[in-house]
Amino acid sequence: PARLADRGELRAVVQRALAGRNERQRLAVLLAKFEHCSYEEIAASMQLSVAAVKSLLFRARDQLREALAPYLNGDAP
């Protein structure tokens, strides 16, 4: 039960962190991570270049890493 509660809490934290990204970053992350789309597919879907998608995902992942760092390091509020 504690393990399930921890997963639920982590899921909520990740959802909040993802919701804090701008819409383009959020969409790119969702397409890449959960829909398993390639850079090319994301670029076509979002009408961006592949380079722009890579940059968008890099920034989004970097910001998510920062937002989640306290939880991953055990320093959660």
The one-character DSSP state at 76 is -
User: What are the structure tokens assigned to 48, written together?
Assistant: 């961006």
Q: What is the pLDDT of residues 9-67, one digit of tens each?
A: 888 888 999 999 999 999 999 999 999 999 999 999 999 999 999 999 999 999 999 98
Contact 28, 46 (CB under 8 A): yes
User: What are the structure tokens assigned to 32, written together?
Assistant: 């890449």
What string of DSSP letters covers 18-59? Answer: HHTS-HHHHHHHIIIIIS---HHHHHHHHT--HHHHHHHHHH
Of the pLDDT bands very low, low, confident and very high (cuts 50, 70, 90), residue 1 is low
Task: Give pLDDT, residue 14.
Answer: 87
Task: Give pLDDT, residue 72.
Answer: 74
Of the pLDDT bands very low, low, confident and very high (cuts 50, 70, 90), residue 6 is confident
pTM of the model: 0.79
